[in-house]
Amino acid sequence: MAVPTNTRETYGAVGIREDLSNIIYNISPMDTPFVSGVGRGTCDNTTFEWQTDELKTPAANRQIEGNDYASTAATEPRRLSNYTQISATQVQTSGTTEAVDFAGRKSSQAYQLAKRAKEMKRDMETMLLDGTAKVAGSSGTARESASFATWVGTNDAATTPIIAASTGSGLVNNGASGYPDGTTSSATGGATTTTTLAMINEVVSRVWDLGGTPDVILCPSTVKQTISGSGIGGSVVADLQKNVGDKAATAVNAVDVLVTDFGTFKVVPDRFMPATNCDFIDYDLWEICYLRPFKTETLAKSGDSVKQLLIAEYGLKAKNGLGNGMIKSAK
């Protein structure tokens, strides 16, 4: 069928407003389970301190009647410390850009600030789990807060709650004082090796022996798939639910909760943690201490633009690292 002569069509028309959605779709992942799960506190200095203690090893405590007892040797609490680190990002928008009518946002400056805040939270998740030891900093060096791995472990390979995936043996973390103190982390676990149920049981039993009760397994996607696979989770792919009413049949091939002899664990994937670590965490034993919580500061104008700084200063407190564990070089 032919189009009549002189019929105006959109192909040659001028001035048609573009159909641009007023919704901006951001596919970047935002979930940060460690930062979101641990406690929040405050500190009053760039160096903040706390104390941890433990009970002595149980022994046969049988005494004779009428004994004149001698004082038992006392052990003092351990004094630990960490540094705060500064995370910041600046957003600068020209006056013209701020005045222009953008699709999907009323203010370009406000949109960019909100976006940078999400990016900074992801940065925090990465840094607090990356194994960095604490750095005091100087006029030319940024302070660094000791991350999760530097507070976990013992100086005894037979009891340390850190396991090398390649060998199944313990990895020590002595620290500067013979105890994890944020100054070092254990050695790597050798060649990357598939995580097994035996490894998981070894870590959780060691943590339990030390008095810990973690309830979260934080892991990268590869380890999450291993835990959900037949090697650990059993033949879960065979768990097929039949149609019930209007509900479709569902094949279940995931393990989100793992029950062991030493506790029930929520298995949580984390996109921003080291790709070959598997962390066993008690969120109650960790706290992010803020010297300066997230805030936006408007900077002095130096031209036809708006400048704002998004900044936060914080550090990680390990109330007791012995209540947590790790598998290194896992997949």
> How confident is the model over 240-251, as a mean pLDDT?
58
Poorest-confidence range of 20-29, 117-126, 301-310? 20-29
Contact 92, 305 (CB under 8 A): yes
Q: Which residues pair with 281 in a beta bridge?
A: 216
Give me the phi and psi of 205, to 5 degrees please.
-70, -35
Residue 32's nearest CA partner among 319, 228, 273, 224 is 273
Poorest-confidence range of 80-94, 157-171, 236-250, 262-276? 236-250
DSSP state of 311: E
Query: What CATH fold (topology level) applies to the domain 33-50+78-213+276-328?
Result: Major capsid protein gp5 fold (3.30.2400)
Question: pTM value?
Answer: 0.86
Poorest-confidence range of 3-7, 152-156, 178-182? 3-7
Residue 233's nearest CA partner among 254, 204, 264, 218 is 254
Map tokens 């049949």 to a residue.
249
Q: Quick check: 3 pLDDT over 80?
A: no
Distance between CA atoms of 141 and 138, rounded to whole angstroms? 5
Task: Enumerate the domain spans of the chain.
Answer: 33-50+78-213+276-328
What CA–CA distances, in Å, run from 246 to 83, 239, 241, 249? 56, 19, 13, 10
Q: Determine the pLDDT at residue 24.
A: 46
Residues 6+ apart with CB under 8 A from 198: 168
What CA–CA distances, in Å, run from 253 to 14, 64, 153? 54, 61, 33
pLDDT, tens digit (0-9, with 9 covering 90-100), for 273-306 = 999 999 999 999 999 999 999 988 989 988 898 8
329 CB-contact burial (10 Å; exposed 0-12 / middle 13-18 / buried 19+): buried
pLDDT, tens digit (0-9, with 9 covering 90-100), for 106-119 = 888 888 888 888 89
Residue 80's nearest CA partner among 208, 183, 194 is 183
Distance between CA atoms of 210 and 65, rounded to whole angstroms? 33
Distance between CA atoms of 50 and 54, rounded to whole angstroms? 14
